[in-house]
Structure 1
């Protein structure tokens, strides 16, 4: 996801553009949040602990619990999140989507081998590669946000591009995503780790494009 090594290049060439901030520092700020990367983080975090939150019918709810707690945390600290969901992938990404499908097939095969050999570390690594934010997961997240009264919408194409566009136009102060591509789409301010599960204890990174 994103350009490999871009963050390190920024840290080396333009250190003033990269800083860490506390959530309280963002009080009153309106932020466009990349919903897909957020939901993926919630699913990965719980799966990494060797368990999954489910209903009595066996339906996964990890993403909903994560979304609920992180959104409440933002609201309690005075942030105004606007969640943006991925729309239809651009046609020019057809080759990239095919590569992803091939990687999934390889990951499934590697996972089976790791499980047969009892290699839990490798099995977890491959399992993360197979986690996917499905249309059903997105719809469940939308229903939860609607019940919470938190604004959201579906982008025409990629969520990170739409988040960047909202920030460029001044409709929000920053774009929040783990995807460094958001900067390449022109977001003046990118927030990383804003929706990372609290258990990971990663600092919020604030990256300024013009600096």
Structure 2
């Protein structure tokens, strides 16, 4: 029995030794920075694309609208507040807002409606202190790029999407070519702002329930 236990222990030890170093610590992100550097040097990936990926991973990029409306409801405003907090971290970056509609109505009308929705999102972001010069001209795709392929009303298609579009060439960091610093830096102040924003949202939801 004792010999069997010793043999089992040795087997477990050998199996553990055959795992790749860092196996337990690596949750899938290990090596991403190196991969990104290689892709940038090869021309496969730009710093704007990397920052765009980070934006999409850290905040919701999309808001939705009621049928035939460009009004921002409370949910849309909360999302745009989170976008504004993130955008303020990167004064060197430019952003673009795309407007979309569902398939109900004419192409021309939906083109106009998508533009109004994009304009509404841009106007809200500028009221949060984002310079209008950093929010590139809003673009409307109308009903030409639906998320859900249906001729009927669908809220998921009635949306705007905010994306990173590039960098402000006049910014000192951009002039110095310090794109990596822009993409990977972190702000303590922004984290505090985000935390405060969550608390305000929670307080508002609680007061509504009462």
Larger RCO (CA within 8 A; separation ≥ 6) = 1
State whether TM-score is above 0.5. no
Structure with larger Rg: 2
TM-score of the two chains, using structure 1 as the length reference: 0.28
